[in-house]
Structures are given as structure tokens and as C-alpha cells.
Copies of this chain bind each other. A is one copy, B any other.
Amino acid sequence: MFGLAAGEAILRGMERKTRQRDAVCGVFERESRPLSPLEVLQEAQRELPTLGIATVYRHLRSLVEEEWLQLVELPGVPPRYERAGKHHHHHFHCHGCGKVYELEGCTGGFASLVPDGFELESHTMVLHGRCAGCTHAA
């Protein structure tokens, strides 16, 4: 058994410090909201206009592997990414502007909904509506 332990990353990669990597990380350091790959590209291109979308995807994947970012999957929209290491929380998806916001807290009590024989491991909760900006604009 010469292989890697279970869960150990095969492809680590992207460990070199480059302007592209700095640009991607910088976006997340300036913005607390979970961001889509396109949002990251557009924001990072303000600093580095030649940045390509493939590089953004590669860094997002790599930063998730390094546990510097966390993948945020939401129903029916492209995935978002946020800084890892936050407390348990959920998200609000505004269908006016499409932005996703972090919410604090959790109502809990989900175990009672699970049928016999099913094993509950985690849960996802997304609140949908209009954010403050879009409520006022409408």
C-alpha cells in the first residue's frame, strides 16, 4: 500500500504565488458575500484584466482543497465560494439581483423529519426573497 491515505488530495497544485492567485484571493478578502466564479473573474479582472476564466476555476478548486475556501451550493444557480472556517450558517438568495448573503444562526430540529432507517448527516437551508437593496429599488 504505497498510496495516499483516504481523503488526501492527489492533485494539490497551485502552490506558487502568482499575480493571478493573489487577485483571486484578494477578491474574497475584500468581499464577505459568497461569490460565483463569474463574480470572482469580473472583480479580479479589475486588478488583472488578462485573467482567464479557466485560471479562476483552477484556483477556486485548489483553494477549496486547501480549505481556504468553502463551496456553497444553492438550488438552481451556479455554485458560490466563501472563506472557509466560518461557524455553521445558512444563506439568503435574492432573486432580484441574484446575490447570495450569509445568514447567522440555524433553527435546528430537522432530525424529526427524517424517516426511520435514514441517516441524517447534514442539512442545507436557503431563504429566498429580496435583499434590502432590491426591496427599496422595487
- Report the copy number of this chain in the oligomer: 2
* A92 interface hit (Cβ, 8 Å): yes
**Which interface residue of A101, A116, A118, A126 has the most chain B CB atoms within 10 A?**
A118
* A123 interface hit (Cβ, 8 Å): yes
Chain B residues whose CB sits within 8 angstroms of the CB of A113 once the complex forms: 90, 103-107, 127
Pick from A6-14, A17-25, A48-56, A129-137 the stretch touching chain B: A129-137
Shortest distance between the CB of A135 and any CB in chain B (Å): 5
Q: A107-B113, A116-B132, A117-B131 are in contact. List 8 more A-B contacts (CB 8 A).
A: A75-B75, A75-B124, A101-B118, A118-B129, A118-B130, A118-B135, A119-B135, A123-B126
